[in-house]
Structure formats: C-alpha cells, structure tokens
Amino acid sequence: MKTYNELYLSARNLLRQYGVEGCTLEARLLVAQAAGKSTADLLRDMNLYTTPAVEAKVTDYLARRLRGEPVAYITGSWEFYGLPMTVTPDVLIPRMDTELLVDTAKELLLGRKMDARILDLCCGSGCIACALGHELPATKLVAVDISASALEVCRRNLASNRLSTRCLTLQADATAAPPLSIGTFDMIVSNPPYIASDEIITLDSSVRDYEPIWALDGGMDGLRFYKGILKYWKSLLRPGGYILFEVGETQAQDVYDMVLAAGFASAELRKDTQGIDRVVIGRMYDLDQVF
C-alpha cells in the first residue's frame, strides 16, 4: 500500500504528464475526495497508509479526469468567494470571473443600502446568492432559475451556508414575464447564459461535453437573456435600484448600450483581473430625478 503522500504525488505527476495546468490542486482534491477527507485532513495524514479501496477510487477519478470530466463534477464540490458549494452536472461550475459581480454588488451597497432586497436571475448553483448573503448579512434574496434540478442544488447550497431563511428560490423563465407575487428589488444580479449558439461547438470539451448546454446557450447572438431580462424584469427595480450583468469577453458594449436604451439613468462597466470588461451596471432613476 502507498502512503497518502505517495498516492498524491503519483496522481499529480500523471495529471502533469497529460498537461493539466492545475495538477497540484486537482490531485489534492481527488485524493481527499477518495479518502473522504477534507484537504486539511489530507495534509495532516500524508504519512499514513491508504487502503486498496481509496487507491481504486483515485484510479477511477483520474481516468474520469483524463477523459475531460471537470474535477468539480468528480468531487461534487467547489469553492466560490471562499464558500463551499455543492456542484452537480445540473449546474455550471462557479468561475472566479463571477466573483467580480459579487465585488461590484458589495461596492454599490455597502454603507448605502445594507438591507437591500436582491434578485439573482439565472441563479444556477446559487453561488452568487450565497456569496451576497454571506457578505451582506442584512440583505434578503430571491434566487430564480428555469431549471428545477438547478434550484435543488441552489437550495442545498443555501442550506449548507445557513442562508435558507433569508433567500427564497423560485422557478421562472428569465426571458418571460416574472410571477406577479415576486415583489420589487433594490438590485438585480445575473450571470445568464451568454455563449452564442453557433459558438458552443468551439468550447473546450470539458465545458461542451460536461456542463449543461442550456446554462451556456445565449441564443444566436448570445444576447437573448440580456434582452429578456431588460424587457420583462427591469420593472421590478425600485427607484435608484441597480441591475448588474456578467457578460462575455466581447459583449460589454452591446449590453451597455442595451441598458441605456432600456431607460436606465446611467450605465457603467467593470473590468476583471485581465482588463476585460466583465460587469455591466445599470442604475434606475431616483424619485427626485423623475419628478
């Protein structure tokens, strides 16, 4: 039998041999999952011996990873904004890019509207709602998705992060009229599907073959959901309220123009760490601007 350290090193070396960039982290995650340990416990137990069952699981996990399956789906978990998130093939894997959406929402609300009511449209795993609920403990949230299976994952994440009492979940289509009873909001945040339909086939196989296509496909021009949200859901914003969109690499100007054309008082852009315009902000008129 091998020690956990030997098992980890062999897993890391195999992943590295096949060109997996995050081989060190992924090997640690896969071995920890196979052993039923946290990564912290794995580091503590590196000199202990494994069991044949653990070694067999690691072999199976490595085979799945080398076929292209994302490590998050193999382990069933990921991290977003420092929070543990359950992840299944029914939802997209949370990306670091999306943390900018949370950063921007915090920037706009901290010290101004700490008890905001926030709507997360196309919520998927609920990672945005969980992060905002954790970072802004006086907020109330509603998480909406068209997929019942995605909402089930969202509810699990809200529960594990102790946010179930502050966040409602609702099944609805972001490109159609909202339910009449949903109420109004100080902020709408959305990371909707935004890949153009004919570009889906060009995505990396780990995304195209494993992540849910319906959560990626933004229609022929990639803008279908932005158009639908601005048309049907903008009316839920209170005076002075904000709408925040995550956008694809080449979409910021189009969505910025759409926000202004929809009648918002102002629009702004926020760049990600690579200097790409990643978040579009629209702000509604205040009452004193209208009258």
All structural domains of the chain with their residue ranges: 4-67, 89-290
CB 18 within 8 A of CB 27: no
Kindly compute the dihedral angle of the four CA atoms of residues 157, 217, 140, 277, in this order, to the nearest 10 degrees.
110
Q: Quick one: pLDDT at residue 204?
A: 87
Superfamily of the domain at 89-290:
Vaccinia Virus protein VP39 (3.40.50.150)
Q: Quick one: pLDDT at residue 290?
A: 46
Q: Quick one: pLDDT at residue 289?
A: 57
Ranges of the chain with pLDDT below 50: 290-291
Q: Which amino acid is at 98?
A: T
pLDDT in tens, 54-78: 999 999 999 999 999 999 999 999 9
CB 234 within 8 A of CB 244: no
Q: What are phi and psi of 200, to 5 degrees?
A: -55, -40
Q: What are phi and psi of 21, to 5 degrees?
A: -60, -45
Closest CA to 145 of 225, 236, 235, 234: 225
- How many whole angstroms separate alpha carbon 246 and alpha carbon 120? 12
Three-state DSSP string of the chain? CCEHHHHHHHHHHHHHHCCCCCHHHHHHHHHHHHHCCCHHHHHHCCCCECCHHHHHHHHHHHHHHHCCCCHHHHHCEEEECCEEEECCCCCCCCCHHHHHHHHHHHHHHCCCCCCCEEEEECCCCCHHHHHHHHHCCCCEEEEEECCHHHHHHHHHHHHHCCCCCCEEEEECCCCCCCCHHHCCEEEEEECCCCECHHHHHHCCHHHHCCCCHHHCECCCCCCHHHHHHHHHCHHHEEEEEEEEEECCCCCHHHHHHHHHHCCCCEEEEEECCCCCEEEEEEECCCHHHHC
- How many whole angstroms separate alpha carbon 19 and alpha carbon 50? 26
Q: Which amino acid is at 171?
A: Q
Q: Quick one: pLDDT at residue 12?
A: 95
Q: Strand pairing partners for 143? A: 120, 169
Q: Quick one: pLDDT at residue 291?
A: 37
User: Residue for token digits 């006086």?
Assistant: 138
- How many whole angstroms separate alpha carbon 186 and alpha carbon 36? 42
